[in-house]
Structure 1
Amino acid sequence: MSETKIYWESSAGHLLEETRQTLNEYLLSLKLADKAVATIEKYRRIIEAFFQQCTIPLEEITSDDVLTWLTTMSEGKKPRTIDLYLSAVSSFFSFCLEEEYMEITVVKKRWRPKIPHSLPKYLDEFEYARVKVSAEQLSIRNRALLLFLFSTGCRVSEVASLHVQDIDFNKRKMDVTGKGRKIRQIYFSEECGLVLQDYLERRSAKPSDPLFMNKFGNGLQVQGIRKVLKKVGGEAGLVQSFHPHMCRHTFATNMLARGADLQFIADVLGHADLNITRIYAQIPTEEMLLTYQNIMG
């Protein structure tokens, strides 16, 4: 999104002027901390919604006011959505407390909903094989794209922002800019490198070109990548919806099954918190299942 839209400023007409100024200070602090545009926009909308119901000055807000709003907003919502609402207002009020716009803590930890535990969705070995076979019939661009996602574990937004000049084909590596604008080094397989090189040669790509392009000669964006994978999933006969993050999860589970340790996987995926990566250790790999079957029958 273009910064000319000033996504880190609120223009909601229902806000008290002092509240708006404080909210905009908070939003700017998120921007300066390199928080994602989508995160800042979500938080801004949630906080604006809070002040649409609670129209009193900041310093007069109590825990009861927040709980009343949360109860109203939570009706019919999933626990993860409720947790997002609470995270947004909690973050804002913590900022207000630190900057002395408020004097009391108004959000209670006990309000946090219990989030249902879910494992990452990934392709098992049979689904993975079906997709790889189906990929043989794809255009050279789509085949290169699919192999790149499987081979690197990149986020879809990272892939969309890559350029040809970022690639080192000799060492089969490149630098990607992840969350928080952190740069990390990734690698890709020999098969991916050969197909990718073929794709770039066929289109006579220049170093400054986006790595993957659409038919109009522009960079292939996130939605375009999603559409490609959705179509591939349908052609491969997958029951579950096939999306870019599933490639990332499949990459991680494949690495774990082949003996990579969690810290290495975390570094490759760009996880700042190792606990995020630990969830992959809870997924039974094919080797584990085979061992169980051999022992238990």
Structure 2
Amino acid sequence: MTTLQQAMERFLSVKNASPRTLASYRTGLHAFFDTLRLGRTLPDGSRVSLDPVTAEAAKLDEDWVATFIANLQDFSPATQNLYLAAVKGFYRFLLAERLASPHIPRIEQWIAERARKVPRRRPQFPREEIEQLIAYAESLPTLPVDSAGASLKSESSRRAAQQRARLRNMRDRALILLLADTGLRVSEACSLTLEDVNFFEGHLHVLGKGDKDDLVRVSQRALNALRDYLHERQAVGLSSPVHRGRPLSAGRLTPLFVRHDRAAGKGSPTPLDPSTAWDIIRERATEVLGGEAAHRIHPHSFRHYFVTIVLLATNNIEKARRLARHRSITTTQLYAEVDPELDRDYHEIFNTSRRTKV
């Protein structure tokens, strides 16, 4: 006999998804199991409940989904959809493994009819402030670092602190330019290794959402910033040299973006994580724009910026979708209000034409 708890663990162990998605699915299934424990009222007025730890998976029918949807009404539409995706996937797994016999079309119909829809809004981002931050990032390597470690007593400690400050400036410039010119998700940027960069062909190998292999094109200014950063790291013995377009890593994968602080230590490079990258963006935004801007700009703002710039330059929504690696064009269409040709037509109709008539 396979219990519901055991079935859930098996489902999550074979699910092809990122650790973050798996954690979210686990949370959603735990919420579903809470509904099973609370129980539901049957048409004859009696109550039924299931303990996932002891209940056989075969006892789970699709009627529990309707009860779960009702219990989710206080959650946001986005959370509802995430949890219901986890539950629907779990039911499909039970059917495929012949652990239960749910009616999947009925589940899908209930979700379509009763679950709250996530409102699709055009992404908002402060474009002018992002461009100011990008300009500031390009100047980071020229900023003085003499004040770094000024309170330290030994000359060697002060030099080490200045070296770390210079590396952080080079790294942060490369990170910001890469996010702005590629539309990478911050998690994708943080997971890059030296082997993922091809300087000669000007692209990155990226493991995107759903573990999908993607080829991402990179601008020359971002490549130059990456090359400068890696050369600086090589100079202090923290990176492998760049040779014929690809960095050499002596047979092991080395993170592209790493920490440069005292806590990181002197051993193997410690890769940036998305949380640290978020802090970097916030700190640099504060330096150039003030504290208020730090709450308006975050790493994903650069992805919105990237898609908008592509649409403004090409007025081609399919090209924008492919460069942003959106699975569905409906996601890219959220940015389609940015239409330079339509702006010109509107100006012609309501401004130029009216002045001519007057």
Normalised-by-shorter TM-score class: 0.7 to 0.9
Give the Cα separation in 2 of the matches to 1:169 and 1:46.
Answer: 42
Question: Which piece of structure 1 moves more, 178-187 or 152-161?
Answer: 178-187
Counterpart AA for 2:217: Y
SS of residue in 2 equivalent to 1:202: helix
The answer for the alignment partner of 2:90 in structure 1 is 92
Query: 1:234 aligned to 278, 282, 286, which one?
Result: 286
Q: Retained in 1: the 8 A contact 2:125–2:301?
A: yes
Q: CA RMSD in A?
A: 2.6
Shift of 1:225: 0.9
Stretches of structure 1 lacking an aligned partner (at least 5 in a row): 1-15
Give the Cα separation in 2 of the matches to 1:18 and 1:69.
Answer: 19
SS of residue in 2 equivalent to 1:89: helix
Give the Cα separation in 1 of the matches to 2:137 and 2:194.
Answer: 22
Give the Cα separation in 1 of the matches to 2:134 and 2:344.
Answer: 23
The aligned runs of 1:185-224 (5 Å cut-off) are 185-204=215-234, 205-206=239-240, 207-208=248-249, 209-215=254-260, 216=264, 217-224=269-276
Give the Cα separation in 2 of the matches to 1:112 and 1:159.
Answer: 34
* Residues 1:117 and 2:120 aligned together: yes
Counterpart AA for 2:332: T
Query: 1:157 aligned to 154, 177, 187, which one?
Result: 187
The aligned runs of 1:282-297 (5 Å cut-off) are 283-285=337-339, 288-289=342-343, 291-297=345-351
SS of residue in 1 equivalent to 2:184: coil
Shift of 1:276: 2.8
Give the Cα separation in 2 of the matches to 1:103 and 1:174.
Answer: 44
* Residues 1:258 and 2:313 aligned together: yes
Q: Retained in 1: the 8 A contact 2:125–2:296?
A: no
Shift of 1:265: 2.8
Shift of 1:286: 5.9
Change (3 A) 1:226 1:93: same
SS of residue in 2 equivalent to 1:175: strand
Rg larger in structure: 2
SS of residue in 2 equivalent to 1:176: strand
The answer for the alignment partner of 1:135 in structure 2 is 137
The answer for the alignment partner of 1:9 in structure 2 is none
Superimposed CA distance per residue, residues 203-248 of structure 1 (whole angstroms, 9 cap, x where no aligned partner): 2121333211211242222111111111223334337521111111
Superimposed CA distance per residue, residues 55-107 of structure 1 (whole angstroms, 9 cap, x where no aligned partner): 424444455543334333432x2121122222222221232234343334363
Give the Cα separation in 2 of the matches to 1:123 and 1:248.
Answer: 12
Q: Normalising to structure 1: TM-score of the pair? A: 0.81
If asked which structure has higher relative contact order (CA below 8 Å, sep 6+), I would say 1
Q: Normalising to structure 2: TM-score of the pair? A: 0.69
The answer for the alignment partner of 1:101 in structure 2 is 99
The aligned runs of 1:21-36 (5 Å cut-off) are 21-30=6-15, 34-36=16-18
Query: 1:45 aligned to 2, 27, 31, which one?
Result: 27
Shift of 1:17: 5.7
The answer for the alignment partner of 1:20 in structure 2 is 5
Q: Retained in 1: the 8 A contact 2:133–2:284?
A: yes
Shift of 1:287: 6.3
Change (3 A) 1:222 1:22: same
Percent of counterpart pairs with the same letter?
Answer: 28
Query: 2:205 aligned to 143, 160, 175, which one?
Result: 175
Counterpart AA for 2:134: K
Superimposed CA distance per residue, residues 13-52 of structure 1 (whole angstroms, 9 cap, x where no aligned partner): xxx962122222322331xxx2122222221222123223
Superimposed CA distance per residue, residues 234-286 of structure 1 (whole angstroms, 9 cap, x where no aligned partner): 334337521111111111110111016333333333333333333222x3256
Give the Cα separation in 1 of the matches to 2:298 and 2:78.
Answer: 20
Give the Cα separation in 2 of the matches to 1:265 and 1:271.
Answer: 9
Aligned pair count reads 276
Q: Retained in 1: the 8 A contact 2:17–2:211?
A: no
Query: 1:267 aligned to 301, 322, 325, which one?
Result: 322
Change (3 A) 1:291 1:128: farther
Give the Cα separation in 2 of the matches to 1:99 and 1:196.
Answer: 47
SS of residue in 1 equivalent to 2:93: helix
Superimposed CA distance per residue, residues 152-210 of structure 1 (whole angstroms, 9 cap, x where no aligned partner): 11111211121223322233222222123222222222222222222211221213332
Counterpart AA for 2:185: R
Give the Cα separation in 2 of the matches to 1:63 and 1:161.
Answer: 39
SS of residue in 1 equivalent to 2:120: coil
